[in-house]
Amino acid sequence: MDQDERHIVVVAMPAGDDPGTWIEALRPRLPNFDVLSLDAATDTARVAYVVAWKHPRGALARFPNLKAVFSLGAGVDHLLSDPDLPVALPIVRVVDPDLTSRMSEWVMLHVLMHHRQQRLYEWQQFEKIWADDATQPAAKDVRVGIMGLGVMGQDSAHKLAMMGFDVAGWSRTPKTLPGIETFSGDAGLGPFLARTQILVSLLPLTSATRGILDLGLFRQLARDSHVGGPVLINAGRGGLQNEADILTALDEGLLRAATLDVFETEPLPQTSEFWHHPAVMVTPHNAAISSPQTIAAFIADQIEAAEDGEPLEHVVDRNAEY
C-alpha cells in the first residue's frame, strides 16, 4: 500500500502528556498503519482509529473518516463527555485480564487492610505500643459489598469470596454471579447497603451514578462492623463521590474509614483534607495501571479484526454510558 494511502492510528493524550510510550507499543503490532500523535496527524482524512485518554475536547471532530475510538483505560466518561464526538462513532472499552487482575489485587489489599486493622497496627508501631487486643473476626463474618458488577467488579467479588468473605454485589441492571448474592436497580440498593460493612465501589461514571457516594448512601450502610463502623473503598471514578460528604461522614462516624484511589480533581490538590485525615488512605489513581504492552495488544487485535470485517468487542452502550 502506498504510504499516502495507509490508515492512521492516532494516540490522543492531554496537553503536556507524552504519547511516546503508547506509540512505541502500538507500532510493531500495527505494521500496516501509521501510528502518530495527535499533533502529528496532519493528514486528517487518513485517520481511521483513535486511542484516547482525556484528549483535548473537540480534537477528534476534525477526523472525517474515523471508524472507532478506543479508551486507554477502563473508564469511558472522558470520551462520552466530549460533545463533539460523532454520535455514531463506536467507543471501545478496554477489557484486559492484566488490568482486571491488577484491580482485584488492589481491592483485596485494601479490604484486608481494613479487615485486619493494619492502619491501627501501623500507628501502634509508630507509637511503640504493644497491644494485641483489636478484634479479629474471621473473613466469613465480614460482609463486603461490591458496587458495579462489570468485569472488574465480578473478578473482585469472586476473589474476595474465595478468601472467605461474605460478598454481595449491586449493579444498575440485574446480574447473576455463582455463589454470590446480587442486587440491582433502585429497589435493590437499600437492601444491598443494609447488609454491607465494607463497601467497594467499582462503578462506571454515568449521569445516574455521578455523586452516588454521598451522605444519604452512607447512612444506609450496616452499623455492626467489627472496626467500629462502615468502610468505603472507591477505585471507580472520582465523580462517583461527594468528597465533602465523605469527610462529614468520617467526622460524624457514619464512616469509620475510607480508601480512595480516585478523586474529583486529579492530581489531588495539596490543600485537600484527605492528605492528612487519620481515617483516610490515599492512593494516586494507580489501583489498576494500564500496561502499554498488554493494552496495545488488545487494541491492535481489535483494529485488525475490524479491518477484516469482524465486529468490535466491548463497544460502549451510549444509552447506558458504559
Active-site residue list: 237, 285
Cβ-contact 149, 177 below 8 angstroms: yes
Question: Which set of grid coordinates corresponds to residue 57?
Answer: 475536547
Q: What is the DSSP letter of 27?
A: G
CB atoms within 10 A of CB 275: 11
Is residue 267 reached through a cis peptide bond, with omega within 30 degrees of 0 on the bond before it? yes
User: What strands, in cross-sheet order, belong to the sheet with 198-201?
Assistant: 181-184, 166-171, 143-147, 198-201, 231-234, 257-260, 280-282
- H, E, C per residue of 82-96: CCCCCCCCCEECCCC
Give Cβ neighbours of residue 37 (< 8 Å, ≥ 6 apart). 10, 11, 13, 19, 20, 23
DSSP string, 206-226: -TTTTT-BSHHHHTTS-S--T
